[in-house]
Amino acid sequence: VQLQASGGGSVQTGGSLRLSCAASERTASIQALGWFRQTPGQEREFLCGIRKSSGSSYCTDSAKGRFTISRDSAKNTVYLEMTSLKPEDTAVYYCAVGLRSDSRAYYYMPAAYDIYGQGTQVTVSS
């Protein structure tokens, strides 16, 4: 599976961005799609996950209320709508997919994800 993320950029505090990630090759094997982020010197942080088949979704407390994950199964694309952005949201954002049979059940856990995209930079200025 190949993942191509887009939509990152620079915004001011309070702004919004919509990240997209399109999957190609072996897309039928995708069970779950998710978003992570990482800042320099920090571990990758899981934000949100969504089950490809049903659209059931989950976001961590860091993302809940401001970020929304969605997917378009026909386009094999996952989105992350981010609102009320803060400077601490500045990071490289990665999309990921889970291919294992248990990825479908555990889409709300970071361990469900096997393959990551190349990342897209989000910068929020005060």
Mean pLDDT of the chain: 96
User: Would you place residue 117 in the very low, low, confident or very high pLDDT band (cuts 50, 70, 90)?
Assistant: very high
| CA separation for the pair 47, 89 (Å, rounded) | 11
- What pLDDT digit, counting tens, does each position of 71-112 carry? 999 999 999 999 999 999 999 999 999 999 999 999 999 999
Token output for 11: 């915004």
Write the single-letter amino acid at 102: D
pLDDT at position 15: 98
Q: For the chain, what percent of residues have pLDDT higher than 90?
A: 98
- The b-or-e profile of 108-121 (16+ CB within 10 A means b, else e) is bbbebbbebbebbe
